[in-house]
Structure 1
Amino acid sequence: MKTLIIGGGAAGASCAARLRRNDEKAEITVLEQTNEISIANCGLPYYIGNIINSEETMHVSDVNKFKNWFNINVLLNTKAIDIDRENRIVKTSDNQEFSYDRLVIATGASPFVPAFEGMNRDKTFTLRTLSDANRIKEYIKDHKVTRAVVIGAGFIGVEMAENLSELGLSTTIVELSDHIMPNVDIEVATVAQHKLKEKGIEIILNDGVKAFSDDKVILDSGIQVPFDIAIMSIGVRPQIELAQKAGLEVSHGIIVDSSLRTSDKNIYAAGDNVEITDFATGTKALIPLAGPANRQGRIIADNICGKNENYKNTQGSSVVKIFDLTLAAVGAAEARLKKLNIPYLKTFIYANSHAGYYPGATQILYKMLFTKEGRILGLQAIGEEGVEKRVDVVATVMRLNGTVHDLLDSELCYAPPFNSAKDAINILGMNALNIIEGKVKMAFPEDLEDSYLIDVRPKPVFMKQTIEGAVNIPVTEIRNRLDEIPRDRKVVMFCNTGYTSYVASRIVNQNGFDNVYSFGGGIVFFKALN
């Protein structure tokens, strides 16, 4: 069997190595248009920031290893330009021809950079390859750069902003939407934004680039941002041109079936260039992540070797470091559910990273989205410690088609330095079930403005700080002060993080009220947003 793989990134390299482990006699060739194969792309911002200080460590593998370990022929600087499907031949830009029995298109995605007026490409960079990273490092050093602007605030944009700031550069982020990190919702993103600002990074939201002058970015609002270097991280576009030219079925990405086969039975596709099914919503989407790309490459290799493996959709599990914070997410954000008109319920909680009585505990904000039947649609979390492990637990429950009931039943490792006996995962399950069963009505930031607010914390705490307009009825007094609570308008109770107000709302609602809500996340959440 002769397999030709176009692209040596995560999907292509994974496919090639798995093919060899499956079949020692297979003839395997990888065509890679750049001078790199198997680069740790996700570490590039940290390489630029000198957190990773060795270029050698950025090479996950190389041409020699592929040849010596796996007997795989890797050709760098070799760009495929045409696929002759009838004769099963791929032509390259240097006039070579390669035949195949099975073809894998793993061309990935490339950075999207609009043709802005006045943009000087000598001082404007994208980050996708190790060569890109080295050019950025050299430019900063050679031109004594002191001011950086990052256009776009997704993963790469935020990571680059942090690392440029850590290098001592005055750094500005420009983002077209109303918050950074478009894969999460504004409440969680706002916490991250506060951290970036605290570290001296300027953030300009709801504004786009209009044009460039030699040393300024001119925004749609008229704001001019001075810069010495600009990092364009607006997003990526799948490289589908080769597939399109070959007459394969494409949409936003290359269309594949569950076995990752294209509309041609002899051609597979994987990685950032394929359109997949979103696990949470069931809709078609582009979700460019390294983990799914590796998995897809492995599945294709198995299927080429006669197995019948199916790719089981992409959850979008992701994590990003923002100085001493960790932001992690899985599944759909609320904004996406709204856009798709998918019904959902939601909750916010704060929970300690480990037992509160053990020194060093910090709080983590969680936002979970789920259906009235208990199916989990998504989770977002941000905090200092233990964030990603909780999101990974929920991602696993989702993958196994579990529900919020399974979060409640999860038995997790416990010792005070690491956890609480009742973990945040359990609390999320309890909270969601209370909502589903009607034991609590949740209020959210958008509900506060026109509601009657009751602070249920002790009076001394209330006197120090509360939400403007709130009255104080401590939970310990609430049974004797029911006549002070209005019945003809929405009443929102709040406390520090949400538990005491939940208890208070249960007391009140079991005394004949049906208009009382508990503010998820409490005043800690309110302060984080404001």
Structure 2
Amino acid sequence: MRILIIGAVAAGTSAAAKARRNNDKAEIVIYDKDIDISYSACGLPYYIGGEIEGIDELTPRNPEFFLKKYNVDIKTKHKVVKIDHLNKTLTIKNMNLNEVFVDNFDKLVIATGATPFIPDVEGIQSDNVFFLRNVQSAKSIHNFIQNNKPKNAVIVGTGFIGFEMLENLIAEDINVTIIEQQNKIAPNLDQDMSRFLENILMQKGIKILKEATLTKIENDKVTLKVDTLTKSEQDVNIIEGEIELQSDMVIMATGVKPNINLAIEAGVEVGVTGAIKVDNHMQTNLPDIYACGDCIETFSLITGKPSYKPLGSTANKTGRIAGDVITGGNIKYKGNLGTGIFKLFDLTVANTGLSEAEAIKEGFDIQVCHNIKPDKPSYFKGKEMVIKAIADKKTEKILGVQIVGYDGVDKRIDVFVTLITYGAKVDELFHLDLAYAPPFSTTKDPVHYTGMILDNAINNNRPLITSTKLKTLVQSGKKVQIIDARVNKQFEKSCVDGAVNIPHSKLRETMNSLEKDTLTVTYCNKGVTGNAAQNILLNNGITNVYNLSGGHKFYK
């Protein structure tokens, strides 16, 4: 059997390694138009920021390694220009010798990855504009910084790459402004969690421009078209809807698109997301042609609907499946949750599953909660994390989770990933026998608390109201009793609009002053005492009582 693979990064090399393990006699050749192979793309920003000393640490395996260990022949600087599926041949250009030749295959794996999305902006091809996608682009950015000592930079986009570059450019003492075309930062977060993250970044002095579109790049400045400005942007001058920012370099982190032109020309079918359509064995519509990695369309584990999630973890899995199937195996892809995590200064931001917006769009009747708890006790310097969880009221299963915090976020998100994958119901979270010792967690872990809050809301008549819905309710003019159950000192410092202060300790003795038939909302600082106040009211005949999800802290 002769196996040809197009692409030698995560998916392609994973396919080759698995195919070799299954079949020691097959001829396996990988063609890649790039110089570097099997590199850690997610580590590139940290090389630029100096956290990783040498680029070689991100490229530990070269063609010689694969030939020696796996008997896989990887040919770099070889661009595949045509796939002939009828004759089972590839036309390849050797870019080193400028020669074209033809190779034949029994099985073909397309792992052509993704390419940066390049917006139509004047000056986008300038020498000081960079797209971080591979090792060579990382070297170019690193060399530009070392040689030109830029003072100001603009980053376009607030996804994983945008934020990771933000941290690492600041580490190089560069004054950075990050701009976002949408009305919120971090596309993987819901609006409320996005605002929460933005407030933290503002407090750190990070310059953020939302609803801003890059229109022109020239020399040491960029021009933006803007719609509105928020608090973090008040020092920017707007002239007729445009802003000029000083910028010695521009990082474009505007996302990627699947690299599918070669496949389309060969007759490979493309899915609704614009990526290559494959079945759960990575088979395309053409016989003996498979695809994997960032060029393919996968599907949601929750909804079963097609999705495009260009993540390194997904690329490795789909590559392994392709390599297994073409050599007689039967591994099937079971879907993904779109799990993501990134580091931003001392913060960690993570998400998995459906967002609130996505769940509503899919027609789920959802329960949302915001849980603010420390990762470990305060005497071990525990720091709070905010966990937003979305559950389906009908099945009581968790649909999605978003976390913004410091330490221990990775542990909790992975627990939630496992729970969602295996269909856990909210009441099961409390019974998890999670590891506990003070250096690592609290006795009741934030995961436990999240389950308890959701279970109370869905099954025990302890409904929650989100900050957004409460604000809308107050603005509508509808009659509502809002009870601040904190001590007077906290109330006087800051409170929810329209609230009255009845401390938890005095709630029972002032019960008669409340209207029993009026919609009532209780809250405290983070939610626990607000729930206790809610219990008191419910047990004393006030039946329509909501607790503010995340308390005043998240509301503020």
Q: Same fold (TM over 0.5)?
A: yes
- Per-residue deviation, 1:120: 4.4
Moved more, 406-415 or 125-134: 406-415
- Per-residue deviation, 1:74: 0.3
Residue 404 (str. 1) matches residue 409 (str. 2): no
The corresponding residue for 1:306 is 328
The corresponding residue for 1:368 is 389
The corresponding residue for 1:271 is 293
Cα 1:429/1:114, change in 2 over 3 Å: same
The corresponding residue for 2:507 is 478
* Counterpart secondary structure, 1:282: coil
The corresponding residue for 1:22 is 22
Mapped partners of 1:342, 1:177: distance in 2 = 25
Per-residue displacement from partner, 1:262-302 (whole Å, max 9, x unpaired)? 11130111111111111233221101111111011111111
Mapped partners of 1:487, 1:271: distance in 2 = 58
Alpha carbons 2:196, 2:554 under 8 Å: kept: no
The corresponding residue for 2:249 is 229
The corresponding residue for 1:509 is 538
RMSD over equivalenced CA pairs, Å: 1.6
User: Where do 4+ consecutive residues of structure 1 move more than 6 Å?
Assistant: none
* Counterpart secondary structure, 2:212: coil
Alignment of 1:239-278 (within 5 A): 239-251=259-271, 252-278=274-300
Aligned with residue 108 of structure 1, among 103, 109, 113: 113
The corresponding residue for 2:215 is 210
Alpha carbons 2:38, 2:59 under 8 Å: kept: yes
* Counterpart secondary structure, 1:82: strand
Alignment of 1:182-197 (within 5 A): 182-197=187-202
The corresponding residue for 1:382 is 404
Alignment of 1:41-52 (within 5 A): 41-52=41-52
Alpha carbons 2:430, 2:448 under 8 Å: kept: yes
Alignment of 1:332-343 (within 5 A): 332-343=354-365
TM-score w.r.t. length of structure 2: 0.92
Alpha carbons 1:501, 1:518 under 8 Å: kept: yes
* Counterpart secondary structure, 1:137: helix
Cα 1:19/1:227, change in 2 over 3 Å: same
Mapped partners of 1:96, 1:483: distance in 2 = 89
Structure 1 unpaired stretches of 5+: none
Per-residue displacement from partner, 1:398-436 (whole Å, max 9, x unpaired)? 122222233222110001111111111111111111111
How many residues matched?
A: 526
Alignment of 1:85-484 (within 5 A): 85-94=85-94, 95-221=100-226, 222-251=242-271, 252-356=274-378, 358-372=379-393, 373-449=395-471, 450=474, 451-484=480-513
Cα 1:98/1:401, change in 2 over 3 Å: farther
Mapped partners of 1:75, 1:276: distance in 2 = 28
Residue 36 (str. 1) matches residue 56 (str. 2): no
Alpha carbons 1:150, 1:171 under 8 Å: kept: yes
* Counterpart secondary structure, 1:293: helix
Per-residue displacement from partner, 1:463-511 (whole Å, max 9, x unpaired)? 3443343211112222222233234543221111101111111221232
Structure 2 unpaired stretches of 5+: 95-99, 227-241, 475-479
- 1:332 maps to a residue whose letter is L
Alpha carbons 1:211, 1:218 under 8 Å: kept: yes
Alpha carbons 1:164, 1:171 under 8 Å: kept: yes
Cα 1:210/1:342, change in 2 over 3 Å: farther
Alpha carbons 1:170, 1:201 under 8 Å: kept: no
Per-residue displacement from partner, 1:63-91 (whole Å, max 9, x unpaired)? 11011111110011111121111111011
* Counterpart secondary structure, 1:501: helix
- 1:518 maps to a residue whose letter is N
- 1:86 maps to a residue whose letter is L
- Per-residue deviation, 1:139: 1.1
Mapped partners of 2:133, 2:442: distance in 1 = 41
- 1:384 maps to a residue whose letter is Y
Residue 493 (str. 1) matches residue 522 (str. 2): yes
- Per-residue deviation, 1:438: 4.4
Moved more, 227-236 or 110-119: 110-119
* Counterpart secondary structure, 1:230: strand
- 1:458 maps to a residue whose letter is V
* Counterpart secondary structure, 1:208: strand
Alpha carbons 1:192, 1:325 under 8 Å: kept: no
- 1:271 maps to a residue whose letter is G
Mapped partners of 1:282, 1:490: distance in 2 = 39
- Per-residue deviation, 1:517: 0.9
TM-score w.r.t. length of structure 1: 0.96
* Counterpart secondary structure, 2:341: strand
- Per-residue deviation, 1:336: 2.2
- Per-residue deviation, 1:363: 0.7
> Identical aligned pairs, as a percentage?
37
Mapped partners of 2:492, 2:537: distance in 1 = 23
Per-residue displacement from partner, 1:284-340 (whole Å, max 9, x unpaired)? 110111111101111111112212111011111111101001111111112222344
The corresponding residue for 2:233 is none
Mapped partners of 2:222, 2:360: distance in 1 = 33
Mapped partners of 2:113, 2:125: distance in 1 = 26
